[in-house]
Amino acid sequence: MALKNAEDNSILTVKQASEILGICTATLKNWIKLGKIPATSRNNHYYLSDKDVTACAKALETGSTLRSRRNKRLSDSNFIPRSYIDSSSGNYRAVIDIVNSTRTSQADTEDILSFYSAMLMRKSGLSDSTINQLISDISSDITGSKTYTHDEAFSYELIPVPGEDTLGMLYLSLRGLRSKKATGSYYTPFYAVDLLCRSAFAGADIHNKTICDPACGTGNFLIRLPKIVTFDNIHGYDIDPIAIALARINVAIRYHADDKKSLKIICDNIRVADFLSEKCRSSYDIIIGNPPWGYSYSPKEIARLKKSYRCAVTTGRPESFSLFTEKALSVAKEVTFLIPETFLESDAHRNIRNLILDTCSVKKISYLGEIFDKVQCPCIILSIIRAVDDSNNIEVSFYKRSKNRMKESRSFLASSNRLSSSSFQIICDDTKYRIILKMQESDHFCLKDNADFALGIVTGNNKQRLLDTPSQGYEGIIKGTDIDKFRLKEPSSFVQFDPGSFQQVAPVQYYRDKNKLFYKFIAPEPVVAPDDKGYVSLNSANILIPRKEGYSARYIMAVLNSSCISFYYRNTCRNMKVLRARLEALPIPVCDDNVMKEIEALTYSNEGIMELNLKVAALFGLKNEEIQVISDDY
């Protein structure tokens, strides 16, 4: 492939091609290296032809071997969000049956939605004129019977349930994953909506307060607001016309709005608009909701956004939920959003954190974990007040999902001065945080620039490449499950080491180094063991080779496995992946040779671990009461 001018649309960068194919850039680079898609290399960058990328996209859609490697962005299959409404609802099974029946139906999504919208409004006692008006934005066929009289998709019964977004679940189920991901739309489970509303309104006087959801979708937040909120104080925006039509229907049903004046207010207040570009009213009292995550902006849109939004001025693609947060804070006194946990310390969101520090106060942070069906992304509820108050204490809560409920596991107050532009992460209370600060202030070094790191092997097919028993030409390969603190188990799998055939492999010398340490990649804290046999490893077991002059690998292993570092790590990091950057930043206390040798000697038996922990704590200068806090936490 001849490389043409960069302005030539027939030549694509890796980033452009990966977006078209719906895969991450790392996966595409692996495909290029494996020869699964042609590319030209120039100045350490790959370039692909539009023709080759188009052919690859077609292959993905027709079931080639590449299909299993791509992500879900190209999937248009129906997806039923089973936690969107309560599974005990009489409508839950009916919605699933409706969606399943559409696989053999010739009906349009709009006609199905209009049919069941009319059914719910009629059962709620709304008049035919109201039904006709509200459904006209979805479909001209109100009943669905004109064309699909005998279609199974129209044979089910739905019933009105107060506060339940049945129509939203139906619409969400009928939309493909592809369209939802492209717009960053993931509608929120009802129990998370309730938790956010409690967070936003608990103890607040909201009588006659104006409330807005700037990405309201089908209105699941709007219909679960406290009963004291009147419909004329409810506002919502969304760029999806059908979602807005359903939101209006939901609000009309909740408030039994059956007259022209009420319908006009609802239609004026809940409308199709882009909140980021919309010249909305000058202010709202409270803004709530779940703004879009990861919306794919075009280059033209990015250029426009950079002119208006401080957090859009980044080296990468602007993040939609940060933009929504910035806009919300400019037009509301209080903002409560459900957003990804990555907001708290990712460099990509530093600008919006700075804006909050400069102009606002954080009121609450609630950690929810993963709450969305088929979406692996921990999230938080963040409540912000548009006023600077340095004396403000932040309410921090942690929740666990238990079936269709969110249960609080622990909570505490934390000083607002713990927030910084680099991190809004608050995992522990102030007592534990003071111990962490003391460890940071102790005489120590870090592994950054004092160690080599290497990743384990990605074979491409473990079932084919690994054996359960030794065989000629095969050697033991370490997995994460083979690593315990201070001890490496005998390998339970065996591989024929052929570096050129693996999808990912480190330079051979790192595997063969007999001064190296293995650490578990998936773990809540460092779990480190020495290897003096030169084993290779899978990517669940990564490699650390200390290079700090005067300090042994066994001493560094002892510190990383100590209760002090476990405490430090678990109270500063929530990621279950033990990343290199985290290990590089951990404090390793300085010590003399005699103490180092004493600590090394204690690593050879389980009986010495308690004494080891006390010696490490002493190096950090911790007192008995602080050691007790660590022990209680552990």
Q: Which one of 426, 457, 487 terminates a domain?
A: 426
Q: Is residue 87 part of a domain?
A: no
Beta-carbon count within 10 A of 280 CB: 16
For residue 420, tell me if it sits in a domain: yes
Tell me, what amino acid is at 331? V
* CATH code where residue 551 lies: 3.90.220.10
Quick one: 15 and 135 in the same domain? no
Residues 405 and 450 in one domain: no
Output the CA–CA distances (angstroms, integers) from residue 481 to 316, 516, 517, 519, 541, in the order listed. Answer: 37, 18, 15, 10, 8
Q: Are 378 and 512 within one domain?
A: no
Please answer whether residues 519 and 451 qualify as being in contact, where contact means their C-beta atoms are separated by less than 8 angstroms: no
My answer on whether 292 and 242 are in the same domain is yes
Domain boundaries, position 474? 444-633
- Asked if residue 82 belongs to a domain, the reply is no
Q: How far apart are the first and last CA of the chain?
A: 58
Confidence (pLDDT) at 450: 97
**Domain co-membership, 606 together with 503:** yes
Burial class of 326 by CB neighbour count within 10 A (0 to 12, 13 to 18, 19+): buried
Residue 186 pLDDT: 59
Rounded Cα gap, residues 285 and 209, in angstroms:
6
CA 88 centroid distance within chain:
28
Q: Are 544 and 447 in contact (CB under 8 A)?
A: yes
Q: Single out the residue in 426, 453, 470 at which a domain terminates.
A: 426
CA distances 471 to 463, 478, 495, Å, are: 15, 16, 9
Does residue 397 contact residue 367 with C-beta atoms inside 8 Å? Answer: yes
Pairing assessment for the beta strands 493-495 and 536-537 based on DSSP bridges: unpaired
- Phi and psi at residue 521, in whole multiples of 5°? -80, -40
Tell me, yes or no, whether 623 lies in a domain. yes
- Cα–Cα dist 274/277, whole Å: 6
543: Cα within 13 Å, side-chain hemisphere: 29
CATH number of the domain that residue 46 is part of: 1.10.1660.10
State whether 369 and 413 are in the same domain: yes
Residue with tokens 């609450």: 364
Please give the pLDDT value at position 64.
Answer: 42
Residue appearing with tokens 């929810």:
368
Q: How is 105-137 classified by DSSP, letter by letter?
A: ----HHHHHHHHHHHHHHHTT--HHHHHHHHTT
Q: Residue 529 corresponds to which tokens in the numbers above?
A: 């063991």
Same domain membership, residue 184 and residue 39: no
426, 456, 474 - which closes a domain: 426
Q: Do 19 and 109 reside in the same domain of the chain?
A: no
Low-confidence ranges of the chain (pLDDT < 50): 1-9, 64-76, 144-145, 177-184
Query: Within this chain, do residues 378 and 499 fall inside the same structural domain, yes or no?
Result: no
Report if residue 393 sits inside a domain: yes
Tens digits of per-residue pLDDT, 56-93? 876 665 554 443 433 333 334 556 788 899 999 999 99
Q: Do residue 67 and residue 105 come from a single domain?
A: no
CATH of the domain at 244: 3.40.50.150
Query: Residue 70: what pLDDT?
Result: 37
Nearest Cα neighbor of 339 from 325, 353, 359 is 325
Residue at 502 is within a domain: yes
Cβ-based burial of 20 (10 A; exposed 0-12, middle 13-18, buried ≥19): middle
In a domain, 315, yes or no: yes
Please give the pLDDT value at position 58.
Answer: 65
Tell me, yes or no, whether 118 and 225 share the same domain: yes
Number of domains in the chain: 3
In a domain, 91, yes or no: no
| One domain for residues 155 and 57 | no
Please give the sequence-ordered ranges of beta strands (E in DSSP) within 350-425, or none if there are none. 361-369, 379-385, 393-402, 405-415
Question: Is residue 223 a contact partner of residue 250, using CB atoms and an 8 Å limit?
Answer: yes
